[in-house]
Structure 1
Amino acid sequence: MLDNPVLISVIILTVLSLLRVHVIFALLIAAIVAGLVAGLPLSETMTIFIDGMGAQSGTALSYILLGIFAAMIAHSGIPGVLINRLLAIKKPSKYIFIFGLALTACLSGTLIPVHIAFIPILVPPLLYFFNKLKIDRRALASALTFGLKMPYMCIPVAYGLIFQGIIATEMTKNGMAINQTSVPVAMIIPAIGMWVGLFIAIFITYRKPRNYAQTNEDIEFLKEAKDEQPRRNFELRDGITIFAVIVALAIQLTFSSLVLGALSGIIVMFVGRIVTIKEGEDVVQGGVKLMGVIAFIMLIASGYATILKETNAISELVNAVNGVTGDSKLITAILLLFIGLLVTMGIGTSFGTVPILAVVFVPLCISIGFSPLATAAIIGTAGALGDAGSPASDSTLGPTSGLNADGQHDHIWDTCVPTFIHYNIPLFIFGIIAAMVL
C-alpha cells in the first residue's frame, strides 16, 4: 500500500504546495510521479495527462463564462451599491462581514449562479475595511469556503442538484439504487460537521485581531468602488441585471448546464444594454482575467485525475482496505473516507471524484452491509473531503483570488491549511457518524 501511486503522488503534491511551489507545477510533477510509479513510460504519461485535460473542458468554459457574467454584474453597478451600504455602517462588527461573506458564498451556488466569480469583484474593495477592523483573513477564507461547499452537500438546488444527482446516478449504475431525493437526507449529518468547523474557525482559532498593512492596492480598490457608484436609488438597469441573474439560474436548472446558464445571462446583459457592444471587449477581457487562471488549473487537475484513473491505483487502495477491515463497518468507513480524502486532495473537485470512487466503493459497501443512505453519506463525504484544503480546488482558489488582491494572503498557508483543518477533520468525524447511524 505504501508504494501506491495515488498515495505517493498526493504526498508529493501536498509537500510541494506547502513549500509554496505554484499549484500548476505541483500538479504537473505529482501527475508525472503517479505515472512513473505505476510503471507508465514518461511519454505515455504525458499523453494521458494532456488527453485527460479535455474531461474538464466544460467546467473550464463555464468558469470563463461565469467570470464574464460576474464582470458584467460588476459593470452594472450593483456590487458598488452594496459596498457603499456596507461602508456606511457606523459601528460595524467583524462578525457581520464574516458571516455576510459566508451567506453570499452560499447564495452564489444556489440562487445566484456565479459561483466563485463574485469573490474577486466583491472582496478586494473591502480589504481596506477588513484591515481596519483587523479581521484575520484566515477566518474570511474559512467563511467563503464554507459557503462554497456546504450548500451543494445538502441543498438540492443548482450545484447541489448536480452533485447529489451524480451520487444517485453513480450508486444506481454500480448496483445500489437510491432516489436522488434521499441524498440530501444522507448528507445532513456531514453538513453539520461543516457548521462545527465554521464556528471553531471564527470564534476560536481566528478570533484574535491580525494586523495587515493598508497598501495602495487596498486604498485604490476602495476608492474605485466608492467613486464608480455614488448613492442612488433603484434604477431600470438594476432590474435588468436582476432579471439576467434569474434567467441564468432558470436556464441552468432547466438544462443542468452552467455554460448555457451563464451564456443566457450574458445575452440578457447585452440585449438590455447593461453592457454595450463597444464596452463588451473590455468587460469580457476583465471577466476572462478574473477566472482564466482558475479555469486552467481545473484543466490540469483533470489531467492529473485521468492519470490516477489509468493507473488503477484507487482500486488497489480499496482492495487493500477490503483485506484488513473484515466485516467491521467502522473500520471500513474510516478507511474509505481516508481514500476519498487522498483522491480529492489531488484532483481538487468533489464532483469529479464521486464517479471515480463509486465504481469501487459501492460493491464494497454492499458486501459490508451498508444501507443506501449510509453508502450515499460515505461517497458524498469522501467526495467532499479534500475539496477544502486542496490547492487545486475552486473552493480554495476562489477565496484566495479575492483575499490576496494586495499580496498579503498566501494561498497555501492562509487558505488551504486553515480550511483543511477546520472542514476536513469535522467532515471526517461526522461522515463516520452518518455511516454508522443511517
Structure 2
Amino acid sequence: MSDAPRQRRAFLGLLPLPERTAVAEALRTETVGGMVLLAATLVALVWANSPWRGLYEQVSHFHFGISALGLDLSVRHWTADGLLTLFFLVAGIELKRELVVGELRTPATAALPVVAALSGMVVPALVYVAMNAAGAGSPHGWAVPMATDIAFALAVLAVLSTHLPAALRAFLLTLAVVDDLGAILVIAVFFTSDLNLPALAGAFAGLIVFYALQRLRVRGWWWYVPLGVAIWALMYNGGVHATVAGVAMGLILRTTRDKGEIASPGERTAHLLRPVSAGVAVPLFALFAAGVSISAAALGDVLTHPEPLGVALGLVVGKTIGILGGTYLAARFTKARLNPGLAWADVFALAVLAGIGFTVALLIGELAFPDPADAERIKAAVLVGSVTAAGLAALLVKRRNGIYRRLYEDETRDEDADGVPDVYQRRDPQIGSASTPDHSDGH
C-alpha cells in the first residue's frame, strides 16, 4: 500500500463530460429565459410607472377560474401559484439529477456547494434580522433575501458576453438549485395558513400514486398531466403554497435511464418544460410582480425603513459573505482545492452575482408582507439589491474575463473534430483533472 498522500480534488475543475453536457443544456435555456425575464421586468417597471398604471393594476387583479374548486384567482395569483409551479417542478428535477448523478451524489462532492449554498441562505437572513432588530422593524421578511435567481444571473453574464468555464456555471447552478429547495421548504413551513387537512391528504395520496406510476414504469402524459394538475389544486386548497407540489413531483420523477432508454422521464420532462418555465412562466410572473413605483420617495423608503434595507443588504452583503465564507471553510476543511487556473476572486465574483434574488425573493416578499404598501417597499428593495449585486458582479467578472475566455477555449477545443473536446483526452494540469474520452450517458 502506498504511503503517498491522497491527491486533493480540484474544486471548480473540469466537469465529467456527461455532467458538462447536462449543465450546458440547462444553462443555455436559462440564459435565453433570463433575457426574456429582463425584458419582462423592464416592461413591468415602465408600465407601472406610466400613465397606464391603472390598466396594469386592473389586469393584475382580474379574476378568473373555477370558483367551485376554490380556483377563482387573480392574474397575479395565477402566475405566482400556477405558472411558478412549472419553475419549481424543473428545479425539483434538477435537484434530483444532482443528487443521483450530478455534483451532489456523494458527500465529498456535495459538501462544498451545499455548505456554500446553506451559508448563502443563513447569512442573508441573519443580516435582515440584525437590521430589523436594531431598527425595531418586522422580523417577517427574513426569508426574502435567501434565494438566488439563476435565470437573472445568467442573463447578466450573457449581457457581459463572458465565457465562464463550465465548472463555475455548474457551481452557480448548484447553488441556485439548493437555494430553490431551501426557499420552497421555507414557504411550506413558515408561509402556510388555514390548513385544509382533507385536501392535503388528497394531495399526498396523489403524490403516492405519482410515485407508484414511476416505480411501475408507466408511460404516457395522459396519466401524469391530469394527476399533476389534481395534486397542484389539492395542495393549493390545502393551504400550502401550490409551488410545493411542483418540487415534490420533480423529486419523484426518475432521473436514471433504464436499459435501452434514450432519456429518463425526468430528463424528458425537464427538456420539454424548461423552455416554458424559463421563457414563459418566470417572465410572466415577473411582469405582474415587478411593477413597482420607481420614485425618489420609493427609493428613499428602501434606505430609511429597516425591512427593505435589511432585504437589500441581505442580498448584496449577506449573500456575498455567506457564499464566499462557506466556500472557503468547505475548501479549507475538506480535500477540495481550487482549480489552479482560477482564483478566489472568481468565487468572490460568483458570490456577489448570487445576490441577484429576483424571482423567488419577490414571491416570498408577497407572502411575508400581505399589506400592499409594505409589499411595494419590499419589491423595491429586491430590485435595488438585485441591480446592485448585478452591477458589482459585472465589474468583478469583466476584470477576469480574459482568464475565463482562455479556460473556456481550452474546455471546448476539438482539433481532431471527433465530437469530444480535446481536454477530455489528455491530462491538463491547469484544469486540474485527468480524463479519457467518455461517450457514456453518466448513468
TM-score by length of 2: 0.26
TM-score by length of 1: 0.27
Instruction: Please state which structure has a larger fraction of its residues in helix.
Output: 1
